[in-house]
């Protein structure tokens, strides 16, 4: 029996089941938003993944970030600068090939997250996506 998935708690988009292959004999299920890419936690079954996705906690703010829309856990924002080094023909690092910010807002309890990659800092955009419901 397939459980109907609620719209994404971040963008109201549609959601689909997905799976993660841990090993040849082990996969885990999760739900992903078709529009913004938000993901539920990894689960042992589709039913468990659907229940995690469909769970909606109370509506309150915690330190400027709303609690996780799936489990009600505490949200955290983090960012880092990714620099891919460029090497010359001798293997010496001479410059950088690409550089971008990587940001995410995530639940410290169940691991649900919204992330972005860009050339510019998008902290406000990433947090706004997390808080949108």
The DSSP string of 25-89 is TEEEEEEEETTT--B---BSSHHHHHHHHH-------BTTBPPPTTT-PPEEEEEEEEEEEEE-T
What does pTM read for this prediction?
A: 0.49
The domains found in the chain, sorted by start residue, are 1-55 (2.20.25), 57-133 (no CATH)
The tokens for 21 are 């292959």
1-56 confidence digits (pLDDT tens): 678 999 988 888 999 999 888 777 888 999 999 998 889 989 999 999 999 898 86
**Which of 44-48, 62-66, 127-131 reaches the highest mean pLDDT?**
44-48
Q: What are the backbone dihedrals phi and psi of residue 45, each rounded to the nearest 5 degrees, phi first?
A: -145, 165
Task: Check if the beta carbon of residue 108 is closer than 8 Å to that of residue 114.
Answer: no
> How far is it, in rounded angstroms, from Cα 74 to Cα 97?
36
């Amino acid at each position: 029996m397939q459980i109907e998935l609620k719209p994404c708690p971040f963008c109201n988009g549609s959601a689909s089941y997905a799976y993660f292959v841990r090993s040849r004999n082990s996969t885990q299920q999760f739900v992903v938003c078709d529009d913004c890419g938000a993901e539920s936690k990894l689960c042992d079954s589709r039913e468990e993944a659907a229940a995690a996705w469909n769970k909606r906690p109370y509506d309150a703010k915690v330190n400027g970030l709303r609690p996780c829309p799936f489990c009600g856990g505490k949200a955290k924002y983090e960012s880092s600068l990714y620099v891919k080094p460029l090497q010359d023909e001798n293997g010496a690092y001479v410059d950088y090939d690409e550089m971008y910010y990587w940001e995410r807002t995530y639940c410290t309890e169940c691991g649900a997250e919204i992330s972005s990659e860009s050339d510019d800092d998008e902290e406000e955009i990433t947090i706004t996506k997390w808080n949108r419901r």
